[in-house]
Amino acid sequence: MATAELNGAAIDGAAAFHAECKQAFGFPDSYSNTMDAWVDCMSYLRDADGMSKFRLKPNEVLEIVIKDAAAMREKAPDLLEELTFCVAGINERYDDYGEKPALALVLR
């Protein structure tokens, strides 16, 4: 299973979240630091589009691990809720295309 790790203690808002994600997922320089851009980059993990350093096999899942998730929940609860919503939406999109879900969110 592929894994990307985010430091929840460092995420106190959108700017920190997107900086962590750009590094952890290998988003391109053109990444615009928005949740829409995050969803775009994470929606094609099984395609060779170059939007992430990850290229998943048909049944592979990318595990997104947030270390110190309690700290993120305390400092940026709305952002954690939005991230959870986006992961579910992306997995639903994969399902709509007849593919297995591609993301698993793990809070530690």
Q: Where are the domains of the chain?
A: 2-107
For the stretch 61-89, pLDDT in tens is 999 999 999 999 999 999 999 999 999 99
Reported pTM: 0.95
Q: For residue 1, what pLDDT is reported?
A: 87
Q: Fold for 2-107, please state it.
A: Barnase; Chain D (3.30.370)
Whole-number Å distance between alpha carbons of 71 and 33: 21
Residue with tokens 């929940």, as numbered in its chain:
73
Residues of the chain with pLDDT under 70: none
Q: Specify burial of residue 32 (Cβ count, 10 A radius: 0-12, 13-18, 19+).
A: exposed
